[in-house]
Amino acid sequence: MDTHSSHQSLKQGHTILWVMTIILRRLPFVLKTILGVIIISSATIFATDEYTSTSMFILESRSSTGNAGIGALAQSFGVSAMGGSLGNDSDPPQFYAAVLSSYDFLANIAQIEYVNPNPSDNGVDQQIVRPIDLFSDPQEELAKRLAITVDALRDKVTTDFDPLSRIITLEVTSEWQWFSEILNKSMLESLNDFNVGKRESRATFERIFTENRLSEAQKELESVEDSLAEFYARNRRIEDSPSLMAEAARTQRRVEVSQQVYLTLSQAYEEARIEEARNTPLITVIDRPEGSSEPLGSILIQIILGALLGLGIAVAYLVFEEFVRVQRIKQSPEYLEFQKVLRQWWPYPKNRP
């Protein structure tokens, strides 16, 4: 087994040395191929002329004891869906990544007017620009134009998130540097407005729920308190009757439970009213998009990839050329068949050996 392994290693080493010999023998051709691929790939970057604007934001997680308490109360009264959402005023990063690519969100972005800072230099003549005007035909119907624009924006918008740090990265790519930045900024502002509006709607729902439940709890508390008062009015002396003492203890516990529910709901109601009027955003922008636009491709990376691709093309061509040369010298049946088929498509000189 060791002899077989040594034989394979020698054969592999011979193959590597054979390829290196071919490269060194035709080194000018290899260098020219690499240089040509680098020039073509680099020119492609400048030809596309697209810019990517990047921003990063983090989601603030906020929850209050009062909201957690009202959530538990909601679950205890059979409102399980609401009880799971109350007390948690934040959503996972995946939710906001989905919002940024949703149809309604991008349709709203498509119709916002943006100010072009330099109409003469930015490749867009209009002073006021809307994405729907850039990516769709004004002669088409509005619904079709919105659908086309939303598809175009989805191709130009990329989101990524870190589940540990809750940081979301937003990238917007377009043909214009200023447009990538202003569109990225607009999406952050619209996402913040959506977040505030969603939270206000949730707070309104909480306030309505607690307000109705507080009214019921107040009536229940008054009822058990009246029952306790009537019990003591009917029974002046209960110390000598174990049954009356037990009934008094049960009524007193109902009063205490009703009081606790009423106090918890009162606190939750006041907090819901405060939260309903709050407009503080839950999104903190870490890296703003202004001044972040960069060409879509990196020159250094493109040079490295172009060099590797050029080397691969040159080596593949030289290895194939050397293999064909050896087969031609041997006049192998495979080469003769290959030469016959090749002449049908490429009639090079017949007198070639």
Yes or no: say if 51 and 296 are a contact pair by the CB < 8 Å rule: yes
Residue 353, in any domain of the structure: no
Q: Does 13 map to a domain? A: no
Question: 106 with 185, same domain?
Answer: yes
How many domains is the chain partitioned into structurally?
2
In a domain, 3, yes or no: no
Q: What is the mean pLDDT of residues 27-46?
A: 77
Distance CA 92, CA 166 (A): 8
Q: Could you tell me which of 307, 314, 319 has the C-alpha nearest to residue 18?
A: 319
100 neighbors 55 (Cβ within 8 angstroms): no
φ and ψ of 283, to 5 deg: -110, 125
Per-residue exposure over 52-69, b if at least 16 CB sit within 10 Å of its own CB, e if not: bbbbbbbbeeeebebbeb
Could you tell me the CATH number of the domain that includes residue 143?
3.30.1890
- For the chain, the average pLDDT equals 75
One-letter identity of residue 163: P
| 8 located within any domain | no
Ranking 37-41, 200-204, 282-286 by mean pLDDT, the lowest is 200-204
Q: Alpha-carbon distance 303 to 84, whole Å?
A: 53
Confidence of residue 352 (pLDDT cuts 50, 70, 90): very low
User: pLDDT tens-digit profile of 235-265?
Assistant: 777 776 778 788 878 878 888 888 888 888 8
DSSP assignment letter at 114: E
Considering the domain architecture, whether residues 247 and 277 belong to the same structural domain is answered as yes
Residues 285 and 155 in one domain: yes
Mean pLDDT of 63-76: 48
Q: Does residue 290 surpass a pLDDT of 70?
A: yes
Global model pTM greater than 0.75: no
Structural domain boundaries enclosing 136? 51-295
Burial 210-223 (b: 16+ CB within 10 A, else e): beebbeebeeebee
Residue 12: inside a domain, yes or no?
no
Task: Examine the domain organization and report whether 171 and 310 are in the same domain.
Answer: no
Q: What is the pLDDT of residue 281?
A: 57
Q: Are residues 188 and 61 in the same domain?
A: yes
